[in-house]
Amino acid sequence: MKKGLLLGLLLFSIGLSRAQDAEKEIIANTEKAVKKITDTTSNGWKKKGNIIFLFNQSNFNNWVAGGENNLSGNLGINYDFNYKKKDITWDNKVIASYGLLQTKNSDFEKKTDDRFEFNSVLGKKAIGQWYYSFFLNFRTQFTKGYVYGKDDFGKEIRTEYTNVFSPGYLTFGPGMFWKKSDNLKVNLAPLTSKITFVDADFTLPEKAYFGVEEGESSRYELGFYASSYYKLDLMLNVSMENTLNLYSNYLEDGQNVDIDYTLSMVMRINRYLTTNLVFQAIYDDNAFRGLQTRQIFGLAANYGF
């Protein structure tokens, strides 16, 4: 009787042990399958974009406090096309926007926005969420820019100061790319080349034009570049994008750091209507010795694709 009980306990133990081993193997295989699915479901191209039309209008009639009738509109495109395959990632982003303002007492339409920017980061996985990277950034504008003033008779005049590709900025170099998700990523590039393109006809003898010397059409810099992108949902239907770019030139005035920060906040009303806020701050002493800022706020019509 005792021998039979012992034999039964032994067989039960062996069976239990085998069952536990089988369970562990099933769990391990399941985890591998899940990881494989997670790693491959986002392989290939992933594309998304948004077109925004922002409209503002003010009208005054017998308004004692004063005011000037004005009408403005901004059209913007934000398009991402990212690629992933195994340990390779390639993130691309196009930002384009253009805006005009017309006021009753002005002889000219004036720009409220003029921007074209292309960003591209190619990465090969190194360890964890870090990638060996090579990035490229290009920035310019679509149309001519003017400086406004008054002539001797008080009439408004304007002087052409910028144009498409004048200035234009091409920045590129190798580095390390950290990417937690499409909404949080950082790129560090310690050997970055930056080329500033201008129309040589604009360069003046008494000062450099966007850092480019008189008679020249370009300027080369080598330095350290850092960029970051962070998007978060502040609350239901309210999202915020933050983009920060920093650059320091090793070859001249390395202590001067160029800063370009953009905040874009979207407050969604419904599928097609939003309230949008864009704030941008730039410090680049080659362009202007001071802080440049711009702000756009208004009701926008959106179309996602």
pLDDT tens sequence for the chain (305 residues): 545 545 454 544 555 555 555 555 655 555 555 445 444 446 899 999 999 998 877 777 766 666 778 888 999 999 999 999 989 999 999 999 999 998 888 888 999 899 999 999 999 999 999 999 999 999 999 999 998 888 888 888 998 889 999 999 999 999 999 999 889 999 999 999 999 999 877 766 556 788 888 888 999 999 999 999 999 999 999 999 999 999 999 998 888 899 999 999 999 999 899 999 999 999 998 888 889 998 888 889 998 88
Alpha helices in the chain (DSSP H): 2-41
Side chain identity at residue 71, one-letter code: L
Statement to judge: residues 54 and 3 lie in one domain: no
Q: Which residues on neighbouring strands pair with residue 176, listed in sequence order?
A: 132, 188
Give the pair of three-digit tokens for residue 119: 């960003």
Statement to judge: residues 1 and 107 lie in one domain: no
Statement to judge: residues 54 and 186 lie in one domain: yes
Statement to judge: residues 57 and 24 lie in one domain: no
Q: Which residues on neighbouring strands pair with residue 204, listed in sequence order?
A: 207
CATH of the domain at 220: 2.40.230
pLDDT at 300: 92
Statement to judge: residues 14 and 112 lie in one domain: no
- The DSSP output letter for 207 is B
pLDDT at 201: 76
Statement to judge: residues 74 and 30 lie in one domain: no
Statement to judge: residues 14 and 54 lie in one domain: no
Statement to judge: residues 181 and 124 lie in one domain: yes
Side chain identity at residue 296, one-letter code: I
Give the pair of three-digit tokens for residue 289: 């010795």
pLDDT at 303: 87
Distance CA 44, CA 15 (A): 46
Buried/exposed 27-57: b ≥16 CB within 10 Å, e otherwise? eeeeeeeeeeeeeeeeeeeeeeebbbebebe
* Cβ atoms 69, 103 nearer than 8 A: yes
Q: Which helix (H) or strand (E) holds 147?
A: strand 145-150
Statement to judge: residues 205 and 93 lie in one domain: yes
Q: Which segments within 182-256 are labelled E, that is strand? A: 184-197, 218-235, 238-249
Number of domains in the chain: 2
Statement to judge: residues 221 and 292 lie in one domain: yes
Distance CA 230, CA 253 (A): 29
Full residue range of the structural domain in which residue 143 is found? 45-304
Statement to judge: residues 13 and 59 lie in one domain: no
Statement to judge: residues 52 and 194 lie in one domain: yes
pLDDT at 65: 62
pLDDT at 37: 46
In this prediction the pTM is 0.80
Quick one: CA torsion of 159, 220, 120, 130, rounded to 10 degrees?
-140
Q: 203: burial class by Cβ within 10 Å (0-12, 13-18, 19+)?
A: middle
